[in-house]
C-alpha cells in the first residue's frame, strides 16, 4: 500500500507533463493492491472464526477425556483442583490466542521488514535508529508481563474460593440456609475482599506499565521526529520526490504501529505460552504407574463369584495415619455384608477401594482368586452397581438418571421400569407429568424437583439397572423414612440373592439384613460376624446397637411402657423378631 501510494503521488506529478494515462496506471496499481488486501482480510475472518470454534471444542474434549482417566485422589488434591481451574479459566481460550498471535507476529515481521526496507534504501541509519528504542525496551515490558502472569498464577486458589461463593449464592440447594441464617451479606463481603485484592494487584501492574510506556513513547517519538526532520529537509531541497517523501512518512508511521503491535504481540505470546504450560501439564498428568501399565490385563471370563481383601492398608496423600489398616475378609456369591462403625472409621474408604476409586493401596484385593490389578479396570467396573453416599443428582430427564447405570439400556423401557420398581420408585414414576422423559431438578426449564428420598431412590435405580455381580450401597437409607428403608432393604436382599451385596449404614437396625457384619474402628476390623453373634460378644457393635435402640425407645415410646419393655428385650432389640417390624 505504501509503494502503491508512492506511485500514485509521483504519477500524478508526472501526468502534468506526460498525460492522464499516468494517473490511470497509478489508479490500476492502487486498486489491485486494495482488492487483494480486502480479499485476504475476508478470507482471514472466515478461517479464524471456524478455527476458533473447532479448536475450543477440541480442547474441551481433551480436558474432559483427561478428567475421565484421573483417579479420585487427583480430584481430592487441592493442587490438581487449582490446575484444573487454571485450565478452565484460561488455557483453552488462550490456545487460540496463541495461534492468532503467532500469525500476527509472522505478519508483523513481514510488514516491519518491508517498511524498514523503504527507509533503509533511503538512509540505512534511519532504519537502524527507528528500531533501537523498541529493542531496548522489550526486555522491560517482558519482565512486567511475567510479573502479571505470576499474580494470575497465584490467584487460582482464591479464584476457586470466589467461584464457590458465587456458586452457592446462586443455586437452589443452598438458598434455604443462606436465607435462614442471613449469610448473603457475609458471603458477598468475602467475595468482594477476594476481588479487591485482585484489583489492587492489577492496579500495581497497570501503574508500572503506564510509567514504562510513557518513558518509551517520549524517547521513541524523539527519535522519530529527528528522522522526519531529515526527510522533510530532503524534500525541501528537492533531494527526493514528493511521492517518496509521502512513502517515507507512511513507512515511519507503519513501522511505529507495527513495532508497537509486535512488542505487545510477543509479550502476549510469552504470557499465553506460560498459561499453555498449565494445559499441557494437566494433559500430561500421570495417571498410572509404569508398573501398573506393564501388568497384563485379563478379561473376566465368568461372573464375579468371590472377592477377598488380604491385609489391605491405605492412607490418603499427605497424611501419616492409615485410613484402613490391615483389612481382611472374604465374600462369595449369595452373601450380604454390612459395614458399620463410628464416623471416620474407614467405611466409605473401604467402598472406594472395592470400586477401585483408589488403586495405590497395600495388600491384596482379589477377585475370583486373581489380583484386581491384573484385570482391565473397566471390565471390573461393568460388573459393579453402586450408590455412593454423595450420589449425583443429574439435572436431566429421568430416563438418563436411571439409564446412566447402563448406557446400553438407556432406551430399554422394560429394564428402566424394572430397576425403578426394585428401588421402590414406581409410585413416583406414575405421578411424573412426562413419566420417563420428565426433566428432573430446577436448573433447566420445565424441571420437576424431587425430595431427598426420591433422589436417593433414583440413584438406587441407576445401580439396579446394571446387571451386576456386586451391588454396593453406601448409606442407601440416609434420606428415607423407616418404612421406605424397610422396603429398600427387603428388595435389596431379594436382588442380591445370587449375587454379592455390600452396604454401609449408620442405622444399625439395617445391619440385620446382612449375613455378615464388619465393625470398623479407626481403620481396623474390630468385630466380624452376624447380628446375633456380635450382640452376644457385647462389644462395640452391641454398645452402638443398644444405644440406638434405647434412644429410639426412650424418645418415642415413653408413654407406652409395656411396648417399650417388649421391644427392648433380648438381642432382637429395636426391630422385634422380624427385620423392619418396628
Dump the DSSP string for 221-267: HHHHHHHHHHHHHHHHTTSS-HHHHHHHHHHHHHHHHHHHHHHHHHH
Which residue, 325, 347, 367, is CA-closest to 503?
Answer: 347
Strand partners, 308: 330, 366
Cα–Cα–Cα angle for 19, 24, 29, nearest 5°? 135
| CA 294 and chain centroid, separation | 29
pLDDT at 36: 92
Is 174 buried (19+), middle (13-18) or exposed (0-12) by CB count in 10 A? Answer: middle
Answer yes or no: is pLDDT of 67 > 90: no
Answer yes or no: is pLDDT of 398 > 80: yes
- Domain ranges in the chain? 2-283, 306-530
pLDDT at 192: 92
Q: Where are the beta strands (DSSP E) in 176-221?
A: none
State the average pLDDT over residues 298-318: 84
Dump the DSSP string for 294-321: HS--B---S---EEEEEEEEE--TT-SS
Strand partners, 473: 387, 503
Q: 559 pLDDT band (50/70/90 cuts)?
A: very low
Is 319 buried (19+), middle (13-18) or exposed (0-12) by CB count in 10 A? Answer: exposed
Which residue, 523, 521, 520, 519, is CA-closest to 531?
Answer: 519
Give the list of residues 6+ apart from residue 440 with CB closer than 8 angstroms, or none: 393, 394, 395, 396, 397, 398, 401, 447, 448, 449, 450, 458
Give the list of residues 6+ apart from residue 543 with CB closer than 8 angstroms, or none: none
Answer yes or no: is pLDDT of 402 > 70: yes
Q: Compute the distance between CA of residue 194 and CA of residue 190 in angstroms, rounded to an integer.
A: 6
* Contact in structure between 386 and 351 (CB atoms under 8 Å): yes
Q: Is 338 helix (H, G, I), strand (E, B) or coil?
A: strand
Is 396 buried (19+), middle (13-18) or exposed (0-12) by CB count in 10 A? Answer: middle
Alpha-carbon distances, residue 6 vs 13, 18, 235 (angstroms): 11, 17, 14
Q: Compute the distance between CA of residue 575 and CA of residue 509 in angstroms, rounded to an integer.
A: 7
Q: 117-148: per-residue pLDDT in tens?
A: 888 888 888 888 888 888 888 888 888 877 88
pLDDT at 89: 64
State the average pLDDT over residues 496-524: 84
- Please indicate, yes or no, whether the overall pTM of this predicted structure exceeds 0.85: no
* Contact in structure between 513 and 579 (CB atoms under 8 Å): yes
Give the list of residues 6+ apart from residue 19 with CB closer than 8 angstroms, or none: none
3-state secondary structure 109-145: HHHHHHHHHHHHCCCHHHHHHHHHHHHHHHHHHHHHH
pLDDT at 35: 93
Q: Is 550 helix (H, G, I), strand (E, B) or coil?
A: helix
Which homologous superfamily is 306-530 in? P-loop containing nucleotide triphosphate hydrolases (3.40.50.300)
Question: Is domain 2-283 in CATH 3.40.50.10540, yes or no?
Answer: no
Helix (H) or strand (E) holding 325: strand 324-332
Handedness of CA 127, 131, 133, 135 (dihedral sign): negative
pLDDT at 39: 92
Average pLDDT, the chain: 80
207 vs 491, more confident: 207
Answer yes or no: is pLDDT of 72 > 70: no
549 vs 554, more confident: 549
pLDDT at 570: 36
pLDDT at 138: 82
Answer yes or no: is pLDDT of 210 > 80: yes
354 vs 491, more confident: 354
Poorest-pLDDT segment among 50-54, 75-79, 229-233, 285-289? 285-289
Q: Compute the distance between CA of residue 163 and CA of residue 191 in angstroms, rounded to an integer.
A: 9
State the average pLDDT over residues 320-328: 86
The listed range with the strongest mean pLDDT (98-102, 127-131, 198-202) is: 198-202
Alpha-carbon distances, residue 438 vs 62, 417, 448 (angstroms): 31, 14, 7
Amino acid at each position: 500500500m505504501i509503494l502503491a501510494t508512492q506511485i500514485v503521488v509521483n504519477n500524478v506529478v508526472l501526468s502534468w507533463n506526460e498525460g492522464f494515462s499516468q494517473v490511470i496506471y497509478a489508479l490500476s496499481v492502487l486498486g489491485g493492491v486494495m482488492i487483494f488486501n480486502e480479499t485476504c482480510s475476508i478470507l482471514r475472518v472466515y478461517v479464524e472464526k471456524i478455527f476458533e470454534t473447532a479448536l475450543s471444542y477440541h480442547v474441551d474434549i481433551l480436558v474432559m477425556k483427561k478428567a475421565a482417566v484421573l483417579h479420585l485422589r487427583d480430584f481430592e488434591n487441592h493442587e490438581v483442583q487449582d490446575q484444573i481451574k487454571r485450565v478452565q479459566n484460561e488455557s483453552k481460550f488462550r490456545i487460540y490466542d496463541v495461534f492468532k498471535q503467532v500469525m500476527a507476529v509472522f505478519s508483523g515481521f513481514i510488514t516491519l521488514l518491508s517498511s524498514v526496507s523503504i527507509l533503509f534504501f533511503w538512509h540505512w541509519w534511519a532504519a537502524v535508529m527507528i528500531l533501537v528504542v523498541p529493542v531496548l525496551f522489550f526486555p522491560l515490558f517482558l519482565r512486567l508481563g511475567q510479573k502479571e502472569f505470576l499474580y494470575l498464577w497465584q490467584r487460582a486458589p482464591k479464584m476457586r474460593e470466589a467461584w464457590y461463593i458465587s456458586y452457592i449464592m446462586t443455586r437452589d440447594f443452598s438458598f434455604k440456609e443462606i436465607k435462614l441464617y442471613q449469610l448473603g451479606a457475609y458471603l458477598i463481603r468475602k467475595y468482594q475482599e477476594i476481588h479487591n485484592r485482585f484489583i489492587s494487584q492489577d492496579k500495581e501492574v497497570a501503574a508500572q506499565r503506564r510509567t514504562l510506556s510513557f518513558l518509551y513513547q517520549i524517547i521513541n517519538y524523539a527519535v522519530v521526529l529527528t528522522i522526519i526532520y531529515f526527510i522533510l529537509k530532503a524534500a525541501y531541497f528537492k533531494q527526493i520526490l514528493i511521492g517518496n517523501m509521502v512513502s517515507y512518512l507512511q513507512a515511519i508511521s507503519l513501522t511505529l504501529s507495527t513495532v508497537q503491535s509486535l512488542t505487545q504481540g510477543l509479550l502476549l505470546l510469552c504470557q499465553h505460552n506460560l498459561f499453555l504450560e498449565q494445559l499441557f501439564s494437566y494433559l500430561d498428568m500421570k495417571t498410572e504407574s509404569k508398573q501398573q501399565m506393564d501388568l497384563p490385563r485379563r478379561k473376566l471370563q465368568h461372573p464375579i463369584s468371590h472377592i477377598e481383601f488380604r491385609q489391605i492398608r491405605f492412607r490418603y496423600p499427605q497424611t501419616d495415619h492409615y485410613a484402613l489398616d490391615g483389612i481382611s475378609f472374604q465374600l462369595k456369591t449369595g452373601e450380604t455384608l454390612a459395614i458399620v462403625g463410628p464416623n471416620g472409621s474407614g467405611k466409605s474408604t473401604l467402598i472406594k477401594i472395592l470400586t477401585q476409586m483408589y488403586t495405590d493401596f497395600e495388600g491384596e484385593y482379589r477377585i475370583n482368586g486373581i489380583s484386581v490389578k491384573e484385570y482391565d479396570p473397566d471390565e471390573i467396573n461393568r460388573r459393579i452397581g453402586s450408590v455412593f453416599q454423595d450420589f449425583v443428582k443429574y439435572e436431566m430427564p429421568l430416563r438418563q438418571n436411571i439409564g446412566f447405570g447402563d448406557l446400553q439400556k438407556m432406551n430399554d423401557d422394560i429394564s428402566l421400569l424394572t430397576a425403578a420398581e426394585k428401588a421402590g420408585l414406581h409410585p413416583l414414576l406414575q405421578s411424573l407429568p412426562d413419566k420417563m422423559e420428565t426433566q428432573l431438578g430446577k436448573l433447566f426449564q420445565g424441571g420437576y424437583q424431587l425430595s431427598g428420598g426420591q433422589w436417593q431412590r433414583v440413584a438406587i435405580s441407576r445401580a439396579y439397572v446394571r446387571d451386576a455381580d456386586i451391588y454396593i450401597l453406601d448409606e442407601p437409607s440416609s434420606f428415607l423414612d423407616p418404612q421406605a428403608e424397610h422396603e429398600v432393604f427387603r428388595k435389596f436382599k431379594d436382588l442380591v440373592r445370587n449375587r454379592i451385596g455390600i452396604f454401609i449404614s449408620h442405622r444399625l437396625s439395617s445391619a440385620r439384613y446382612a449375613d455378615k457384619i464388619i465393625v470398623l474402628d479407626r481403620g481396623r476390623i474390630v468385630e466380624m460376624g452376624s447380628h446375633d453373634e456380635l450382640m452376644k460378644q457385647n462389644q462395640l457393635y452391641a454398645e452402638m446397637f443398644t444405644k440406638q435402640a434405647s434412644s429410639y425407645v426412650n424418645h418415642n415410646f415413653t408413654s407406652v411402657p409395656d411396648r417399650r419393655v417388649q421391644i427392648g428385650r433380648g438381642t432382637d432389640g429395636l426391630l422385634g423378631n422380624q427385620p423392619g417390624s418396628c
